[in-house]
Amino acid sequence: MKWETVSVGEVTNHLKGFAFKSSHYVQHGVPVVRVSDFTEDSISMQEVKYYPMSLRDNYVKYMLETGDILIQTVGSWQNNPLSVVGKVVTVPEELNGALLNQNIVKLFPAEKIDGRFLFYRLKCSDFFGHNIGNATGAANQASITLNTINSFKFDIPKFPTQRCIAKILSAYDDLIENNQRQINLLEEAAMLLYKEWFVKLRFPGHENVKVVDGVPEGWSKGSLQELIDVKYGKDHKKLLNGDMPVYGSGGIMRRVNKSLYAGESVLIPRKGSLNNIMFINEEFWTVDTMFYSIPKRAFIMPYVYLYLKGWDMYAMNTGAAVPSTTTETLNSMQISIPSEYLLAKFDKAAQNYFSCANALKRQINQARAARDKLLPKLMNGEII
């Protein structure tokens, strides 16, 4: 079967994002999609900003639809995959109607190319290499032009074959998306349990416990440093590839041949997206812009994790240009410390949610690996 060679510019139209003013951001309104919200394949709602609903009709041109293909035109070099220039994502259902910010290009597929096929084709390593090879900028920031994107050439089969390929690959992404939704629900359930027991103080047996100065009998008041030891992550660039996950503030960046720690740990961003707190229970490495933590007491990590997730960590910001926090700031955070009996009981209940979430995360990793292995073979016609 003969495939046709085309360029991105020949089979797409485009729209550049608008420079929405951060001074106009509000707590609730129309989501504004920024490059800092990009994940590996999609867009996160975790740190999304909002524009006033009253201004929405002024920017109809920049409204996004589910499945739109977006390319990051300003970002980092390849040593930081989380924010690398040229990253390609699609708009998830929950951001239908969001606004397109600057430093992003939206591609509109023409009639001869299927949108999902185009997305998967641009996820191949040769498009990434094309972008990096033509990027310009300083040591800490890279950028690509629309001409760079449009000049990329690739082969496409007939339209029905494109749709068949896209359907095969979409099955993996549908599984990933469904699992991620379930993980979010499990996290929400764990947080609701935490708030019920430790914020509203409706823990098991609370009817028979006196509360003095806001603290139930058997509890104490202390600081976070009494519960965990906060450690600095380390640079990973010189490590060889392997099986150990390397965590950044957006999740797993790569896998290496060494681990920094093994066991339960709460990961806390040191710079950047301060609210992206993670609970880990495995061997791992974490980057130097993250903290990891070691428990000082038994049954403490789910409690600490949900305590920190309940905070707006930007309130702990000590940075100027880049949001940052320090070990001193974290160590001094004031926290109520429940009895060991109650912590053990909560740990057992919370671990039910976290173990289910971890199983779903493993399925996500397996689906991604299978999809990424299949992707180049489908795109070069080897198995279609």
Note whether 66 and 92 are within 8 A (CB).
Answer: yes
Q: What is the pLDDT of residues 329-344, one digit of tens each?
A: 999 999 999 999 999 9
Task: Report whether pLDDT(171) > 70.
Answer: yes
Query: Measured in Å, how far apart are the chain's first and last C-alpha atoms?
Result: 10
> Which range among 172-176, 231-235, 246-250, 346-350 shows the weakest confidence by mean pLDDT?
246-250
Nearest CA among 258, 253, 256, 259 for reference residue 272: 253
Domains of the chain with CATH codes? 4-156 (3.90.220.20), 178-364 (3.90.220.20)
pLDDT of residue 271: 81
Give pLDDT, residue 202: 96
Mean pLDDT of the chain: 92
Does the structure show a pLDDT above 60 at 320? no
Per-residue pLDDT at 1 exceeds 90? no
The residue whose two tokens read 């764990």 is 190
For the chain, give the number of residues: 384
CA neighbor of 284 nearest in space, from 268, 255, 261, 301: 261
Q: State the CB neighbour count (10 A cutoff) for residue 355.
A: 12
| The Cα angle at residue 31 between residues 367 and 178, in degrees rounded to 5 | 20
Query: In this model, does residue 150 exceed pLDDT 60?
Result: yes
Give the pLDDT confidence of 77-99 residue by residue, as tens digits.
887 777 889 999 999 999 999 99
The answer on pLDDT for 117 being more than 80 is: yes
* pLDDT, mean of residues 239-266: 89
Q: Which residue has the tokens 């999902």?
A: 116
